[in-house]
Structure 1
Amino acid sequence: MKKNMGTADRIIRIIIAAIIATLYFNGMITGTLGIVLLVLAGVFVLTSLISFCPLYTLFGLNTCPSKIK
């Protein structure tokens, strides 16, 4: 897998995941919506850790800065 996520994108995803987790564990979002958002937060963290988003590949996106040779 070739990296396709830049640093800013990774940080934004981790912040969003932390917000969702905080809201869920404080009981502000509950039920099915809470579980779906918690799973989405997990996906955000996982994709941030590996710097690869499969959806970016499907849409031809790449936020990782290219290295000048």
Structure 2
Amino acid sequence: MKSNVGGIDKILRILVGIALIAWALLGGPVWAWIGILPLATGLMGWCPAYLLIGVNTCPAKRN
């Protein structure tokens, strides 16, 4: 799996994921558990949806 999530995108995914999971734990709606997905993709640096639509937010690697 080649990284396709980088920089600000990764930080936002992690923050949104944590916020949604915290909301679910504090009595929020069941759908707030969806926060597991952005948290996981942010931590892994790879998003399967980005792969399908051809998006890559990682900076270009220089040799």
* Bigger RCO of structures 1 and 2 (CA < 8 A, at least 6 apart): 1
**Correspondence list, 1:1-69, <5 A:** 1-27=1-27, 29-30=28-29, 34=30, 36-38=31-33, 40-69=34-63
TM-score (norm 1): 0.78
Runs of at least 4 residues off by over 2 Å: none
% identical equivalent positions = 33
TM-score (norm 2): 0.84
The total of aligned residue pairs comes to 63
Residue type at the aligned position of 1:53:
C
Unaligned 5+ runs, structure 1: none
Instruction: Return the index of the structure with the highest Cα Rg.
Output: 1
| Matches of 1:59 and 1:42, distance apart in 2 | 21
- Root mean square deviation of aligned Cα: 1.3
Unaligned 5+ runs, structure 2: none
